[in-house]
Each structure stands twice: as C-alpha cells, then as structure tokens.
Amino acid sequence: MLKYNMARLMLPEKQEDRFIPVRVVYRGCESAVRIGWRHGSRTPWIQPHYFNPSAYSIEKGKVIVVVAGKGIGKTNLLRNMVQAYYRTTRNPIVVFQEKKDDLNFNRYPPVSKIKEYGIERIRLAPPQGCRNNQRRLIPLPDELKKDEMEYKLPLAEMDYSTLSEYLGKRMSMTVAGLVLEKIWRDRRNHTSISALKDAIAREMPKFENDPYYNQILLYLERFLIFLEIDRLIEAKRAKFVDNYIHPEQINVIDLSNIGDLDIKRFVVAQTLNMLERAYRKRECFIGITESHIYAPETGDFESKRATIRLVTVLARSYGWTVFLETQSPDAIERIILENADEVYILGYVQRSKLSKMLRTASVNFEGFIELFYKVAGSLPKGIGVYGSATDPYNPYLVRIQLSPVG
C-alpha cells in the first residue's frame, strides 16, 4: 500500500495545455492555503495538505522542524509556508536566509513547471502603502541592489549581555563592565553613541577616588571606539526595530555574505531579542535555516539561548509560528526537538542522524519510518513523512508542491 500510494503521489496532475492566468493575492485575504498533498494509514486516499495559521493564536503557537538533506526541498517548504502565512494573516514575517536569492518572493516558477506540478500561478500583492511585498535586509553588504537595504543592529535595541559576548567577554568581567551594565538599564542612555558618552560622563565622577579610575576610563574609551568603527552596529543615529523590520512586508535577512559563525549568531540572537520586545503580544512568523548552527547541542551562547526561548516561550505564550530547518537533527539542541509541534522528514536521511529525533520528538514515527526507508532512496524532491503532536500516532506520507512564489 505504501509503495502504491507513493507512486500515486509522484504522478503530476494533468492540466489542459492552455494559458494560465496570474491571480493577485492581497495580504491576509485568504484562509488555509494548500502546500501539498498527504495520506496516512487511517486515510489511504490522497488529500490536500494545508497550512492554516488561523488555527493557532495567542498561547497556541506552533514549532515546525524540517529535516532533509541538501537540495531535497527544505527551502521550498519554507517558501510555501511564508507565502501561505502572508496570504492568510497580517502579522510580521522574518526569515533568515543562508544562501543568496534562496528566498525571493517576487520570483515565480515558469509556466512549464506550473503545468507539470499542477499549482496555481499567483502574485503576492504589496501591503497597503508599500511598493514591494518583501524587504531584503543585508548585514555587512559589499554592494546593495536596488531593492536591498543595509541591515544594522540598533544600539538602542541592543542587549548588553549580547553585545559584551560579541565584543569580548573580558569587558563584562571588569569594573568598566559593571559601569556599562548599570548605564544600560535605562534605554535612553544608549539610543546612540553620543547619548552613551553623555551617560558615561555623568556616571564616572562617582569613581574618581577608585585606584583603578584611569584603567576604567581606558576600557570605556576602547569600548566606545569599537562601537564607532563596527559596521554591524548602528551607533551614530537613534534607530529602532521598526526602522528595519516592517510589520506587514516579508523581511528577508540575508546572511549569505557573512562567513564568521560568531557574527551570524550575533545577528540572529539580537534580532530575536528585538522582535520579542517589539511584538511580545502579537503573532509572528520566524524562519531560521540551518538552525543547528544557532542552537547546537554543545556550547552556551546568546543565539542558542534566544532560539530556545523562541521555541519554549514565544511560540507557546505569544502564538508565534517558528520554522526551523536543519540537515543535522543529531546536532541540534534537544529542547527544540522536544517542543516541535510538527515534524517533516523529506527524502532520505541517514538513520544515525534521525535516532535522536525519533527518541525525543513528540511525534511517534517508529514503524512508519521502517516502511519509509524501504523506498526512500528512489524518491524525488519534496516527498517525505509528516507528523503532528496533535495526532502523534498517525504520521502521514506527504508531498510538498512547488512554491508558486519565492
């Protein structure tokens, strides 16, 4: 039965060879959006597979973990979910892109592929007052294209713990670090580099009798110099999260030109912390590709703590939809797998990599995976298994359609 149904899922839908019109879709004007097809042991017939964010609200968030090898369809699934979330809600969308142009929601598949895979040809209309449906943010850009914007992390939104970890932990262990930590408690003291200098000037007279007064000044001066010369931090102007993240556009943060993992982790951690403050009581969509980089099982750093908080607190309490993609589920933090509401395993994944997930995840894939492995080696892209924590003992075979945009 499994082989037969897999063969049926692989067959393209037949369509007439005719002109395919483009349907314009406005933000938040639809209900559930079909992203593929599925069938399970209880439902042997093929049925549409929908993504429906309206089923999740405050205190009913959703964590989606996707496991697949390179080029199997993880990013295509992310494109499908982002465009579905865009079509069904008016909530903020932020996705982190590892490979340049992987996520471009003004790009559409050719008519030949649309006919072959039987998907509708649509165009995402920009939100009211915007000229584009997406905002492309580039940290540390070499050069910017017309539709791209340089992404800097505002000093006003910065957490001192994240900043000290980025610039070096030695500062936080000195008296100068304690002075800065005290100044940082009032957000008005660090809206810009000039405001921070004024706050330090007001605080330092209290330490004039300290025998290490000159050394404290030296540390603080060096800290200010680092802030002024760092290209990633917006310190000269008082900017905030709403100067970069648009609440109704698709915000694509492109990390493809950053080779240093510490810098990538800093960008992800600080962005998540900013979004929590800005949208604490508002539903959001957060997509993180290669999530094992930011929340590995070993080590302790800010991006890992922020990702765990994203999964355990923000998704649960604030109704956020969190999409985490990985090629290495064995390397990702165990807490994230335990809190996954939906799990996709696309294509062939080594059994050794899946062992941790099968033991930890709330979805019971045991037995079903054994059947899946018998034919997994001959499957095309986009076909795999899917399970939900709401029905953990009934996994499905799933086929993800080609995204109509992105």
Could you list the mean pLDDT of each consecutive 10-residue stretch along the chain, which spans 406 residues?
A: 45 48 86 88 83 68 86 88 93 93 85 77 89 93 88 92 76 72 91 93 88 86 89 92 94 92 93 92 91 90 90 86 91 90 85 82 76 68 84 86 86
Region class of 188: left (phi > 0), else alpha (psi between -120 and 50), else beta: alpha
Angle at 313 between CA 307 and CA 314, to 5 degrees: 75
Cβ proximity of 382 and 80 under 8 Å: no
* pLDDT on residue 15: 44
Three-state DSSP class for residue 131: coil
Summarize pLDDT for 57-98 with one digit per residue, the tens. Answer: 555 678 999 998 887 888 999 999 999 999 999 999 999 999
Domain boundaries, the chain: 2-149+244-400, 156-234
CATH of 2-149+244-400 among 3.30.230.70, 3.40.50.300, 3.20.20.80, 3.30.2270.10: 3.40.50.300
Cβ proximity of 157 and 270 under 8 Å: yes
d(CA 150, CA 127): 21
- How crowded is residue 70: how many other Cβ atoms within 10 Å of its Cβ? 7
Tokens of 214: 């000159």
Length of the chain: 406
* pLDDT on residue 354: 83
* pLDDT on residue 7: 46
* pLDDT on residue 201: 92
Summarize pLDDT for 235-250 with one digit per residue, the tens. Answer: 999 999 999 999 999 9
* pLDDT on residue 110: 78
* pLDDT on residue 17: 41
